[in-house]
Amino acid sequence: MSITNDAIVALIVAESYWKIPGDTMTVCALTLWNDYTVIGKAACLDPAEFNAETGRRLAREDAMRQIIPLVGYEMASRRAAAREPIDGLNGLA
């Protein structure tokens, strides 16, 4: 089973962007359906070539990449839920 881009997008309920003052860093915060927030970032090496739209796009792509392992973990946890819990981790199941 693969995790599609559409499935990742469906998890997002809000997004916010910030440009760090005096820098070329753009930050994107994606809030997921469960109120968990994932942060992505992008920066331009040459301030003369900074483009706000490109910074936002790249920061969002970075944040979306952060979601993939979280979804994979959730899928694996659900698949393993029927098995015996690991000693010392009973409260996590």
How confident is the chain (93 residues) per 10-residue block, as mean pLDDT? 84 96 96 97 94 97 95 87 64 54
pLDDT at 88: 57
What topology does CATH give the domain 5-80? Answer: Double Stranded RNA Binding Domain (3.30.160)
> Which two three-digit tokens encode residue 37?
């927030």
pLDDT at 43: 96
pTM assigned to the model: 0.81
pLDDT at 81: 78
pLDDT at 11: 95
Buried b (16+ CB within 10 A) or exposed e, 4-31: eeeebeebbeebeeeeeeeebbbbbbbe
